[in-house]
Homo-oligomer: A and B are copies of this chain.
Amino acid sequence: MFDRVRIVLIETSHSGNIGSSARAMKTMGLSQLCLVSPKAVDEQSIALAAGAADIVKNAKIVSSFDEAVADCSLVIGTSARLRHLQSTLIEPRDCAEKVTKHQGKVAIVFGRERVGLYNDELIKCHYHLTIPANPDYSSLNLAMAVQLISYELRMANLMKNGNAAQTFSEKTIESQSVTVQEMEYFFNHTEQLYQSLGFIQNQGVMQKLRRLYNRANMEKNELNILRGMLSAVEKGLDLPKIDS
């Protein structure tokens, strides 16, 4: 399971935090680290990684959130307990359960030390992970948050393996899950069509639709139906078919 799970750190400012996060991951059996535009990966990262320097050295470095999660079918972003995210908020234990049950690739995304994830990043996440910290002082260090989430993943995995063996082929199910990139095509197609119909006039509608469909965690055959519906409308309206 742990090979499917990627920890993504966005624009980390303190290089030491990258090392501490790698150490936290390795103590819980995780190894896939992806860094989005880190300020630096240096000897401080390696020093704080201690016996997990291999994870720092093998980390994939990319330049955007989209690139980091493109091949994942479940994206979970850490967040404060924001009101407008209420319906998609999960705590570490639920998160671990969802990840354990999910069959495709998973990204768990940690934001910048001071300001977390931006709204345009949050909207691309299926779930928003919040740690039920002390409301009077909720300032967890980045690597501490990585430690807690990795711990819950390990616990969930240990429990799952303690139970019955899997009876289905993971590969079959993985092939049915939808990647972030496929969802992006669908969202863009929807936006263009309903803009041309005059229904979509601002970003609010698309944000709500993204939230809804990401939450539903669609399967490929469901996405195909929704795309077929877009094409049927275009055909009915005699619009040129949008290539997606």
Contacts and interface: CB of A to CB of B under 8 A. Distances in A.
A107 to B, nearest CB: 21
Looking at chain A's contact residues, is the secondary structure mostly helix, strand, loop, or mixed? helix
A213 B205 CA distance: 17
A189 to B, nearest CB: 13
Contacts of A136: 29
A134 B26 contact: yes
Contact of A228 (B158, B199, B211): B199
A164 interface: no
Contact of A139 (B51, B198, B225, B236): B51
A20 B199 contact: no
Contacts of A47: none
Interface residues of A, number: 60
A66 interface: no
A148 B197 CA distance: 51
A216 interface: yes
Interface of A: 20, 23-24, 26-29, 50-52, 86-87, 92-93, 131-134, 136-141, 143-144, 147-148, 151, 154-155, 158, 169, 172-173, 194, 197-199, 205, 208-209, 211-213, 215-219, 221-222, 225, 228-229, 232-233, 235-237
